[in-house]
Structure 1
Amino acid sequence: MATFIAAFLFLLVFFLLMSVGYLIKRKAVQGSCGGLGALGIEKACDCDEPCDRRKARDAKERERQEKLAKHRII
């Protein structure tokens, strides 16, 4: 039982530290291999023309980035 509690506490501390790191850096956790970019693939789907949902999502993300840049203090 002591081993289980020790392992649980270790994982709890580990996740707590990861969450603090995310809050400080505002950067998502990513793999070390580079993901699809390392393979020369720019996007998850191989479509020449993205679907309407993807276009709307990309437009919304661009709008959010522009708003953040406009209202940036530093």
Structure 2
Amino acid sequence: MSTFIATFVVLMVFFLLMSVGYLVKKKAVEGSCGGLGVLGIEKACDCDDPCDKRKRRMAKEEERNEKLAKNRII
């Protein structure tokens, strides 16, 4: 039982450190390979003309980002 508790505590410490790192850097956790950006792909859907569903989602994201930028305190 003590091994389980020690493992749980260590795991929670790592989660705490990762969350503090996110709050300080304002940067999402990403893989070591760099993801799709390394390949020159700006988005997961790399089509020239996105479908209507993708266009609506992109519009919502843009609207949300504008609201966040407008209401940002810092």
Q: Normalising by structure 1, report the TM-score.
A: 0.73
**Identity over the aligned pairs, expressed in percent?**
78
AA partner of residue 35 (structure 1): G
Q: Which runs of 5+ in 2 are unaligned?
A: none
1:46 and 2:46 matched: yes
SS at match of 1:36: helix
Point out the more displaced range, 64-73 or 49-58: 64-73
> 1:18-57 maps to which residues of 2 (within 5 A)?
18-57=18-57
SS at match of 2:19: helix
User: How far off its partner does 1:63 sit?
Assistant: 1.3
- Say what the alpha-carbon RMSD is for the aligned residues: 2.1
User: How far off its partner does 1:2 sit?
Assistant: 3.0
Q: Normalising by structure 2, report the TM-score.
A: 0.73
User: How far off its partner does 1:18 sit?
Assistant: 1.6
- CA shift in 2, pair 1:32/1:48, >3 Å: same
Number of positions where the alignment pairs a residue of Structure 1 with one of Structure 2: 74
Q: Which runs of 5+ in 1 are unaligned?
A: none
AA partner of residue 53 (structure 1): K
- CA shift in 2, pair 1:51/1:24, >3 Å: same
SS at match of 2:27: coil
Whole-Å separation in 1 of the counterparts to 2:43 and 2:51:
13
User: How far off its partner does 1:65 sit?
Assistant: 1.8
